[in-house]
Amino acid sequence: MRSLVIAVAQPPVHALDIAANAARHAAAVRASAARLVVFPEMSLTGYDLDAPLVSPDDPRLHPLIEACAATDTIALAGAPVAGPHIATLLIDGDGARVAYRKLNPHHTESRFAPGPGPEVIEVDGWRLGLGICRDTGIEEHAATLAALGIDAYVAGVVDEPADDVVHAERARRISQAYGVWVAIASAAGATGPAYPETAGRSGIWAPDGKVAARAGRAVGEMARATLFAERLARV
């Protein structure tokens, strides 16, 4: 039976402190007992639109790389990168690379350019379509990823506290429309000047739209689920 253990994490964020945030990401990876750990949008800097760009070879990421190597885990962390783009970094025991650049930035994110297109990564034979925050509400984005043949839709988001229902509804819609698993890592607590509080409630949804695992609102919580291929509409 083909399976994949995913965790969605909502670690505390120190504003613009990449070293501290990488260390907290590393702690979450070590605690996760998961093959893949997903973190919220711009999790390595906090959601600050003036944040410095993060290079994949930044030495401050080494504790996170080491944690991934020690646990055989892949981490998907959020950061602003050259372009500039809001991006997802894929981090494993071999290092870090930019895996996806946000395709649909919000109008308030005018500093950042749209990414070149949808991206799918493979983890242990699972095809994972990547999204960041506003992408999750753009129907064309999910449809394009589904057409590429995905098993799960994976995203990091930042929301106001009242908007946890928004990312939950988007997750249900994507899962039911395309018969795939959906994993959403949502920031908790403070993350940058625009968000003194955020929604939390990270979660994982099964292909029928039902909740497989859901975190609360507290900083540091994590939700974990085992994804089974036999539950996919597309196997």
Q: What domains lie within the chain, and their CATH numbers?
A: 3-231 (3.60.110.10)
d(CA 146, CA 207): 13
pLDDT at 230: 86
pLDDT at 109: 97
Predicted TM-score (pTM) of the model is 0.97
pLDDT at 1: 53
Give the contacts of 15 (CB within 8 A, at least 6 positions apart): 45, 46, 48, 190, 191, 192, 193
Query: pLDDT tens per residue, the chain (235 residues)?
Result: 599 999 999 999 999 999 999 999 999 999 999 999 999 999 999 999 999 999 999 999 999 999 999 999 999 999 999 999 999 999 999 999 999 999 999 999 999 999 999 999 999 999 999 999 999 999 999 999 999 999 999 999 999 999 999 999 999 999 999 999 999 999 999 999 999 999 999 999 999 999 999 999 999 999 999 999 988 975 4
- Radius of gyration of the chain, Cα coordinates, nearest whole angstrom: 16
d(CA 146, CA 176): 12
